[in-house]
Homo-oligomer: A and B are copies of this chain.
């Protein structure tokens, strides 16, 4: 009979663990250039408070208590059962949780070198590699979805999202629902727009086509403003389109995952407010939230929709949105009822407001384990200044882009200013298809994605660089991936010019 040990720290590292590095080596090239990264750190007690909150068993009123309080809680050395009823609500601190509570985060925001089983590095534009702590949170023991311990964590997550989206406006509303990023489109089309409304969809790749399809499903007329593959609609074209017709919403894919093209949110938003001030600004930030700057308040945005499994660094399964007071007002003024039941804000807004106020509430059962993982991931993200996170993603992205350029390869995103920080879409050398190259890359222990844009899917590959693979200075995923790509291309017959 095997013993399955959960949430426990062995006092001595058993031999089977010592064997792991030998295995891992099969997927690791020799040590290489480490891209330097020195974020401005919050003071240690603040960082600790951020990291430990997930594992804290403080009742709701104490969640905003001083870091010292958390520190005190963390400094106990032996597990204790506290008879206080509030502590029996399901938030006992396990030995592992205790250790994590007591740990200082590494200066780069990732707590330790990975202890996951050896596996190929997932460097696609989502799902990404996850931190050990995030994966550990996925196996949280069962809780009631309306019990206070879980309600506290969910409430905390919603408050954390305000920070991630850089909004302090109390009218803004964070939303987290079980689903995928796609569900965010339904939320917009079924709640913000009504049948007969017009939507202007800026097209930078595959995902604009799909968002347009989603609008049409709900009776909304979608007009796409297209740019050549690898480019984005220019401001003058957007201005012209906005002046031709009254659009209820404009949608902008921040990073189109099919092309790696980055849109200029701030400039487009400013333009919209100037020429069509009532048009609501909808950002598809599935592949940008967590790795690209998004200033929800400053840029005066209305909806930013995202998903958990990309730069937010939490396994797939959550649709995540930030919604403005203006978008909610549009929803409240609708003349048609919302076009979806599961995605209806009528059903969800009261629930989410209650959760954020730490009050139990029920419409549909959330996933406590995914919410715990999101909580841990957001704690890690917010443990350093967001600016440092965005800068690091940009630096690593530039490193990837310059390296492949130095080999003579070109990107789909044609201009430096429209290249995303979270991924790089790379044209393959003439005559090579993803299926010629990716199996060789995989043999080197790295997973890339093939093309997705319907007009050229067989001519390029996509390299995702988001989350711990970028932020954890102990991981050499990026360098290994560049090596694997080069060797994969060579194995497929490519000769560098």
Contacts and interface: CB of A to CB of B under 8 A. Distances in A.
B447 A147 contact: yes
Interface stretch (A120-128, A379-387, A398-406): A120-128
Given A5-B9, A92-B117, A94-B118, 19 more contacts: A4-B132, A6-B135, A6-B136, A8-B16, A8-B115, A23-B79, A85-B443, A92-B118, A93-B117, A126-B365, A130-B141, A138-B138, A178-B317, A307-B365, A315-B368, A316-B365, A316-B366, A316-B367, A340-B342
A187 B358 CA distance: 31
Contacts of A407: none
* Count of identical protomers in the assembly: 2
A332 B60 CA distance: 50
A369 B315 contact: yes
Interface residues of A, number: 109
A118 B102 CA distance: 20
Nearest to A82: B26
A143 interface: yes
Contacts of A103: 1-2
A38 interface: no
Contact of A364 (B132, B147, B181): B181
Interface in A321-348: 337-344
Contacts of A122: 90, 142-144
Contacts of A78: 19
A10 B10 contact: yes
A456 interface: no
Contact of A88 (B20, B144, B445): B445
A342 B185 contact: yes
Interface in A423-455: 439, 442-443, 445, 447, 449
Contact of A141 (B135, B146, B370): B135
Contacts of A178: 178-180, 183, 316-317
A116 interface: yes
10 contacts: A1-B104, A3-B115, A6-B135, A12-B12, A19-B79, A81-B118, A178-B180, A178-B316, A217-B338, A315-B367
Nearest to A104: B1
B341 A144 contact: no
Contacts of A12: 10-12, 14
A99 B14 CA distance: 14
A339 to B, nearest CB: 7
Interface in A209-245: 213-214, 217-218
A347 to B, nearest CB: 9
A119 interface: yes
Contacts of A81: 23, 26, 118
A388 to B, nearest CB: 21
A182 B341 contact: yes
B341 A342 contact: no
Interface string A172-192: 000000111111011001000
A133 interface: yes
Interface in A84-105: 85, 88-90, 92-97, 99-100, 102-104
A139 interface: yes
Contacts of A189: 341
Nearest to A7: B117
